[in-house]
A and B are shown apart, each in its own frame.
Chain A
Amino acid sequence: MNNAEFNLLLETAARRGLTAGEKDRLQACLASDPAAKTIWDEEEALTSLLGGLPDAPIASNFTAQVLHAVERDEQNHPAAPAIFRWLRLRRPAHPFLAACVTLVFLALGHWQYRIAQREKMAAALANVARSVETVSQIAPLPAMEMWKDYEPISRLAQTRPEADQELIEVLHELALK
């Protein structure tokens, strides 16, 4: 017996009745292998049992209930604007998803802002460096030796000596004489 052919006939018989040609081939298979008859009988019996299962009960107003459910759903979720239908979206993205997308855009925006700020600061520092370089070329800094006595000299300029009272009194007496 050709097993593959027998299995194919079994598969076919499980879905529909066999044609005349298929029945002939089945008879040939069964004739060549009596054990296949038991398998065939059991398969046929099972197909008959499954096929004989009664229909499930269904409410007489089932279709009306479905249409009502559709209307209720449309009231709770109004049709999406034309642009969404064109984009094949039945309704706007879930609020959580929309929030995530917004956050991503905000983060990108902030990141761009930080980059721009850093570039501005770098440009400003570059300007300062250029200025220092320019100034140093025009007016070179004094030699280090000049700065040696800088502190005592600057203290002198800041000193405010107290008035000599004795001298003032002597000068006053002389003036009176």
Chain B
Amino acid sequence: MAADLDPDARLMLSVRRGDRRAFEELVNRYKQPVINFLYRTLGDPVEAEDLSQNVFLQVFKSADRYKVSAKFTTWLFTIARNLCLNEIRRRSRHPAESLDAPHPEHDDQPLRQFEDARNSSPPDALLHGELEEKIQQALGELPDNQRLAILLCRQDELSYDDIARVLGCSLPATKSLIHRGRETLKQKLKPYLRTGSWKGSDK
């Protein structure tokens, strides 16, 4: 029976038996997709990394509840989506402090300082940075469920049915979310659609 299982399910069975190495392998396999998903949803790399750790911690703690018949990636991204929505709700109750707010002791300095990569990067990287910023901004302006649906589409392992399960929607509703989200993105990113590529983003 174990031979019929997909590799991830086999690893999860081992995790259920307390196998830390199996868990480590799963983390290594999916840490980048999970953090990509959370980063593009939340827009903050630090929060995305923190939340990703919580996702895998939850995977370990809930190993008993994992059903072998379910696809591991569907289960993993369901946990990620739930924690993400919790974070979005928490943010709406406790808005983040402004990055432009002055330092309490030094009025002429901002509270936090970040290096401006635009001043030190080669031209292509600057264009890429600007394009990435525009895409991230457009994604951030989408309703949460549309953004989640579009970002889940980036996970090759997830079919439309899997995405519907992660979102807790029907398949037609999921496709509708994706379609509406994409239409909005096309409007917002119209100047960048001409080339359709990351090489030369002339407006």
**Is chain B's binding surface mostly helix, strand, loop or mixed?**
helix
**Chain A residues packing against B (C-beta within 8 Å):** 11, 14-16, 41-46, 48-59, 62-63, 65-67, 69-70, 73, 85, 88, 90
Closest partner residue, chain B, to A88 (CB atom)? B64
B2 smallest CB distance to A (angstroms): 21
Query: Cβ of A57 and Cβ of B45 under 8 Å apart?
Result: yes
Q: Is the CB of B196 within 8 A of A11?
A: no
Instruction: Establish whether residues A50 and B196, one from each chain, have CB atoms under 8 Å apart when the complex forms.
Output: no
Complex CA gap A37/B13 in Å reads: 48
Q: A45-B196, A49-B198 are in contact. Are A66 and B53 (CB under 8 A)?
A: yes
Q: How far is the CB of A76 from chain B (nearest CB, A)?
A: 12
The CA-CA distance from A146 to B186 in the complex, in Å, is 113
Residues of A within 8 Å of B54, CB to CB, are: 69
- Report the separation of the CA atoms of residues A41 and B190 in the bound assembly, to the nearest whole angstrom: 12
Please name all residues of chain B whose beta carbon is closer than 8 Å to the beta carbon of A62 when the two chains form the complex. 27, 31, 35, 49, 52-53
8 contacts between A and B (CB under 8 A): A41-B193, A46-B182, A50-B153, A53-B132, A56-B32, A56-B45, A67-B23, A88-B64
* Beta-carbon contact of B64 and A85 below 8 Å: yes
Main secondary structure on chain A at its contact with chain B?
Answer: helix
Give A42 to B201 CA distance when docked, in angstroms.
Answer: 15
Does B119 interact with chain A (Cβ within 8 Å)? no
Contacts of B64 in A (CB 8 A): 85, 88, 90
Asked if A56 and B197 sit within 8 Å, CB to CB, the answer is no
Docked complex Cα distance between A85 and B195 (Å): 57
CB distance from A157 to the nearest CB of B (A): 89
Q: Is the CB of A73 within 8 A of B61?
A: yes
Asked whether B135 lies within 8 Å of A45 as measured between CB atoms, the reply is no
- The 10 A-B residue pairs with the shortest CB-CB distance in the complex, in nearest-first order: A45-B196, A56-B39, A45-B193, A52-B198, A48-B196, A66-B56, A56-B35, A63-B27, A69-B57, A56-B36
The smallest C-beta distance from A107 to any residue of chain B, in angstroms, reads 32
Give the residues in chain B near A57, CB-CB below 8 Å.
45, 49
| Cα distance, A46 to B150, chains bound together (Å) | 11
Given A62-B52, A65-B53, A73-B61, A48 and B197 touching (CB < 8 A)?
A: yes
Report the Cα distance A16→B52, complex, angstroms.
Answer: 26
The smallest beta-carbon distance between B68 and chain A, in angstroms, is: 15
Set B57, B128, B189, B198: member contacting A46, Cβ < 8 A: B189
B contact residues around A58 at 8 Å (CB): 31-32, 35, 49, 52
Q: Chain A contacts of B36 at CB under 8 A?
A: 53, 55-56
Q: Are A70 and B60 in contact (CB under 8 A)?
A: yes
